[in-house]
Amino acid sequence: MLPKWFDDWNRKNPKDIYGPGILVGAIGGAIFVAAFLVSWGQPFATESMQTGPRGTGMSVPEFKADLATPDPSIEAILANDPIIPEAGEELAGNIYKNVQVLGGLTDANFNRLMAAMTEWVAPDQGCAYCHGDGDLETYGEDNLYTKIVARRMIQMTQNINENWDGHVNANKQVGVTCMTCHRGQNVPSNIWFKITPVNESVAGWSANQNRATSISQSTSLPSDALEKYLLEYERIGVHDLESRVKNQPGDPLIQQTERTYSLMNYFSNSLGVNCVLCHNSRAFYDPGQVTPQWGTASLGIAMVQELNNDYLVPLQDQYPEHRLGPIYGDAPKAACKTCHQGYQQPLQGTNVIGDWPELATTSGTPVYE
């Protein structure tokens, strides 16, 4: 039944008798897999979000399976309609002692917000996390650092919602609450501390650069990008595109370029996107050819700089030692990942502020609808 040449070859090469069988089996298996994928669909299919002109490769692909899987923290966001105040209702500032921030709320809305903050930040400890284990008469005392910090965090949240609308609500109303960062934890999971070297024998650029840390996204890029750019206001930029250009005072050097790459890498990982969400793939260096998202990101950088310098760092003296940084004893600070946690929009763009107008204004007089 088989050709004579095959029988002759098989007699002369008995040790290779399994070779053709394996080859035929592999080819057959590949055909079966291909037919299965064609029939049932690509299990790792992606969906692309176009961010620039067609044909330039400007798109952000995501696996459809990931897009269909919601952020698990969204389940913890429960609808809680505000209670429309009635004329003449007594305000919390007149009922309770030492209400410095939310005194303009009615008693019902004040306690509604306090209960929500407990779930957002300290679901296991409850009210005692900020107010201690005393009775209600002691709740006005500022004996715990957690209460002092929480008061300032309420002010910070109100400031974000009122003054950084261009970043937070760039596409639609989303807002932020304590839940945006804390997700049911006392301390948000993506804060950061200074980790630049303190040992003089390893000081220098090489020591700062070649350290695979969480801040450098486990790469050999510089580990001080968040410190320099989101705390110290250092200029974000890269060196000249032309070779042998004499640098002028203040021009970025190759070190600043590498530090900028470190920051951009952090951005990408924080939002789960690639570079072309903000940059034009044909002209990364040209600010005139960026995408609209570049403006949103720029506002985000300015916002985080303000949050760190005006709200978070000044609280350093309030924290106990175990809440401070392991190297410098510095206060915990925020960055993109603190809110975004791997998604282009925190909590995948869920509107978290709709039920909490108390956290959307610094005037102390919320607008209820």
Query: Is there a contact between 186 and 121 (Cβ–Cβ < 8 Å)?
Result: yes
* Residue owning tokens 């021009």: 251
CB atoms within 10 A of CB 345: 16
Q: What is the mean pLDDT of the chain?
A: 88
- The model's pLDDT over 102-142, given as tens digits with 9 standing for 90+, comes to 999 999 999 999 999 999 999 999 999 999 998 888 899 99
Residues in the chain: 369
Query: Is there a contact between 271 and 290 (Cβ–Cβ < 8 Å)?
Result: no
Report pLDDT for 20: 72
Report pLDDT for 203: 61
% of the chain at pLDDT higher than 70: 94
**Distance (Å, whole) CA 3 – CA 10:** 11
Residue predicted with more confidence, 14 or 50? 50
C-alpha dihedral (348, 101, 142, 332), degrees to nearest 10:
40
Report pLDDT for 204: 64
Compute the average pLDDT of residues 30-38.
81
**Distance (Å, whole) CA 258 – CA 237:** 9
CB atoms within 10 A of CB 288: 6
- For residue 225, what pLDDT band results from cuts at 50, 70 and 90? very high
Residue predicted with more confidence, 39 or 58? 58
Report pLDDT for 238: 87
Reduced to 3 states, what is the DSSP secondary structure of residue 248?
coil
- The model's pLDDT over 181-217, given as tens digits with 9 standing for 90+, comes to 999 999 999 999 998 876 656 666 666 777 778 888 8
Could you tell me which of 333, 307, 338 has the C-alpha nearest to residue 319?
A: 333
Measured CA angle at 88 (ends 85, 91), to 5 deg: 70
**Distance (Å, whole) CA 27 – CA 203:** 57
pLDDT at 164 over 90: yes
Query: Is there a contact between 211 and 222 (Cβ–Cβ < 8 Å)?
Result: no
Query: Is there a contact between 231 and 198 (Cβ–Cβ < 8 Å)?
Result: no
- The model's pLDDT over 49-101, given as tens digits with 9 standing for 90+, comes to 888 888 778 888 888 778 888 888 998 887 899 899 988 899 999 999 999 99
Compute the average pLDDT of residues 309-330.
96
**Distance (Å, whole) CA 231 – CA 208:** 17
Report pLDDT for 15: 60
